Amino acid sequence: MKKVSAFAFAALTRIALIAPILVTSAAVVGCADENDPKTWAKRLDDQAQRAPAIKRLESFYNDAMSAAQTPNKQDDEKVKAILDASVEPLTKTYIQGGLDEKTRKDLIKLLGDMGDMRAAPAYAKAFKDFESGKNDDDVKYAAQGTTRLAQKGPIADQGLVDALWDCFAKFQPSKNTKSINLVKDLQNAVMVVKDKSYGAKAVEKLAAPVSDPKDPPQGMDQIQFWQGTAVQLIGELKFTPGVKPLVKVLMTPTKADLIFPVRKALTRMPKEAEPVLIAALKGTDPDFLALAEKYPEKAYIPRVAEPLAYISRPAGRDAVIEALEKADNDSNRTVLATELTHFPSDAKMVKAYLDAYNKVPANAAIGLLGGGNGHAIIAQESENFFDPSLVDWLIKETAAAKGEAADAMPPAALRAAIKLMTTTSSKAVGDAVNKIPGQAVEKDMYKVASAVVDKCKQDAACYVAVLDTPVPSTPPTAKMGHVKAAWMAAIYGNAQTKNDLVGKVDKVKDSSVRLAMVSAIDHLSPQGDAPTADKLEVIVEADKKAGVNYATDEVYKIALKLRSRVP
């Protein structure tokens, strides 16, 4: 046997002692828990393992969310553990940059899905780095994540709040060629965050001029995106310094597409908006007077009167009546008359209404209302006074109509008469309806409505009870019985009737019947009613969450009216 030197023997001995240690260390490395999110979070630091680490963390998160049983899935302990282990490392990785495009998108998408406050710096970076056509998807996912944060409560990170607005303020939908979802997600994030700092910034956006709303950069970017969102924000925030800028929008012809959101925003601030609208209507503010001169045929008047009518307070009513008396063209006269029906009814208003009708030529076509016959338009809207004494007038005017009015009046005036008729006028309405040639739907409507009147006569509680019965789905005229019941409940009802109607609104899913019910509630609340407004708004929110629309917009408008009228 060959002898081993003392030196060699010592070396072999050292190797023999070290080998187990090396094996043991290798075993420790090889035994890292592949099912532990922390293991994969650590691998984010390794460029070679970064992409699979993101995918694996995404899998952990999605699996845990699918298995979570808590009402708020992110409260589940397993979900929370994954978030605690991964959000901050993922955020750090995104902020450090140096990622290829696919990895970067996968990373910000995962953070967006997580909607965790610790990811706010990553969302802010995506917004700050926005460059059209380069990181559009990053902004989309950051917007989704920011929305999820805001839905949990106000965002305390002002840096994120400011970065979101700055991105919104420079984003141009007209240049977006990749995803309509990006536009919606960014706009939605701004609306859900609705930080108080956005009020003044929204007013600034409204001031931008629009010369041609049909030009995409102006119509799409300015009107639909920036200014449309700004209007909503001012209303949601109830940012009262925005009231006058909103009224200026109403009086700017090129911003006509913003009329309805502006009206809604103004009715959310009724006490502050009413005097400003009155100043615009009367021309007592020089700023508004200058804008009014740009309108042909004084077409700004109906635009200003409409929100006053929906605010529905006494000073606004008097201003609209005054404007109606001074109206010098048929279009304004007709529109102003119909706006009166949104206010609580009284004899003075009805007189002003009928006077306006008499001033409009029988066959006048009203351009502002689609070219409809002026007499027919005014006659039909009279149903909203809930005044049965108007039935004789409606029948008389229908019989007297000649020319184009003869065709337009029966389906307008007699439908109003059917809603307003009582036991004493029912026969006269029936006789007028039966004179309509052919198989007119008004004949079927009358039969159904008169049966309800015969049953309940002057008993408001009886009419309310009719609303407990199922609403027929066919033929369409069959539901007229329920609509008539709501109308008569309003005519004969009192405070208890109103409360009974409020308790049934949510149970009625037919839009036309629900609209009739809230119209009755409106009529029975001349002094406003904040508690009832609260109840109606709960119904509106429930409908929105369920994705249904049972006259939801009208229910909300009535709720705003009831709140606005409270002294």
Q: Which phi and psi (to 5°) does residue 372 adopt?
A: -70, 160
For 406-416, b where at least 16 C-beta lie within 10 A, e where not — what string? eebbbebbbbb
Q: Which residue has the higher pLDDT, 2 or 33?
A: 33
Residue 15 has pLDDT above 80, yes or no: no
Distance CA 220, CA 210 (A): 11
- Which residues make Cβ contacts (< 8 Å) with residue 336, sequence separation at least 6? 301, 302, 305, 320, 323, 324, 327, 356
- Token digits for 77? 């302990």
Q: What is the pLDDT of residues 476-530, one digit of tens each?
A: 899 999 999 999 999 999 999 999 999 999 999 999 999 999 999 999 999 999 9
Q: Which phi and psi (to 5°) does residue 532 adopt?
A: -70, -40
Residue 177 has pLDDT above 90, yes or no: no
Distance CA 274, CA 280 (A): 10
Return the pLDDT at 355. 97
13-19: average pLDDT: 43
Q: What is the pLDDT of residues 211-264, one digit of tens each?
A: 999 998 899 999 999 999 999 999 999 999 999 999 999 999 999 999 999 999
Distance CA 456, CA 487 (A): 12
Q: What is the percentage of the chain residues whose pLDDT exceeds 70? A: 94
Task: Note the Cα 249 to chain centre separation in Å.
Answer: 19
Residue 9 has pLDDT above 90, yes or no: no
Residue 88 has pLDDT above 80, yes or no: yes
DSSP 119-160: GHHHHHHHHHT--TTTSHHHHHHHHHHHHHHHHHS----HHH
Rg (CA), the chain: 33
Residue 89 has pLDDT above 50, yes or no: yes
Distance CA 222, CA 213 (A): 8
pLDDT tier, 25 (very low <50, low <70, confident <90, very high otherwise): very low
pLDDT tier, 295 (very low <50, low <70, confident <90, very high otherwise): confident
Return the pLDDT at 20. 43
24-39: average pLDDT: 66
Of 236, 312, 325, 248, the residue nearest 274 (C-alpha): 312
CB atoms within 10 A of CB 172: 15
Distance CA 98, CA 58 (A): 20
Return the pLDDT at 176. 84
Residue 111 has pLDDT above 50, yes or no: yes
Q: What is the model's pTM?
A: 0.88
Q: What is the percentage of the chain residues whose pLDDT exceeds 90? A: 88
Return the pLDDT at 31. 62
Return the pLDDT at 296. 86
pLDDT tier, 294 (very low <50, low <70, confident <90, very high otherwise): confident
